[in-house]
Structure 1
């Protein structure tokens, strides 16, 4: 069994926020019994998110740099193993001209469910984001994958970075028997103090749920197709 060092990624910086400068830093990690390409495909294909992502069950793609990115491998079929969710389902964007695949330059809105355990309908918290880095894992060279998103400062109603500047990183590393997935976020700005005070513990739990949900979805899809 793979033993994860630094499972909360406390020593890992984001591209523009050093660890020692972060006002808020949270993270999570897991081992998934699947190739990096399979895990990458599930995470970057946002059409699968309603089937596994209880924290962000819906995404709206606002713009893409190209109309039809080609992922390195197909995402698992979201139909066979839908994840249980107590939140009210909301349909995906019906704009068929925009690919659901995240790539460098994608602008998208994460419709965050801040209380995934509630049985009552609840409004989502919308976060406008931009993919600033996107490097798919390479099976031939063994190079891992990495995707980074940050706040879309050009979105309507976006906060200036001086108030809140978040950066989030996912990394995928091939290990014996599968993939180590690491997921962490750093925040700066005056409002980051408020987020840390009010939501740090809850967000840490949701980050751990994020990778657990991804693991369950990818491994469940592989079992169903075996």
Structure 2
């Protein structure tokens, strides 16, 4: 009985404090900024946890996509000839490894399954920009200038696929952090595509 009374008193006190804060906001000035404060505050927690099927598809698709880019980048230190190709591969790995961890964390928190390491599910085979097993073998078997050219040509296609997936997330997703990551992918990978085209003499 006492516990209920204490809880009720705390709720009433909290509500009173909240109304005082809101009253203070409203009385300081009557501008639209003052009036919008309560709704902005109340909607923030809901927005942070809100996600939809497009967000899940983005995370589930981008994880194997990023893993393949990292696998390709891992070949560069021992096979690439140019310093530019090695530097690019290092930057790709440093950007995409942490994103894999973040995407996996989101899926876990949403109660979704993280794609298994090394397992390409059926949907991944037709995914935008993904290399086939034959293309990956060809890349592994090349070295020197031939590797540099093949690596950059494949990575351009790979990046174009990631940018397309990120644009779909921007259009259809709801999770704010996923939208932010999609923005970052579009900006960084579009810049890298330009850079690789330039190194290949295509600009």
The question of a shared fold, defined as TM-score above 0.5 by the shorter chain, is answered with: no
RCO higher in 1 or 2 (8 Å CA, sep ≥ 6)?
1
| Alignment TM-score, normalising by the size of structure 2 | 0.28
| Bigger helix share | 2
| Alignment TM-score, normalising by the size of structure 1 | 0.26
| Bigger strand share | 1
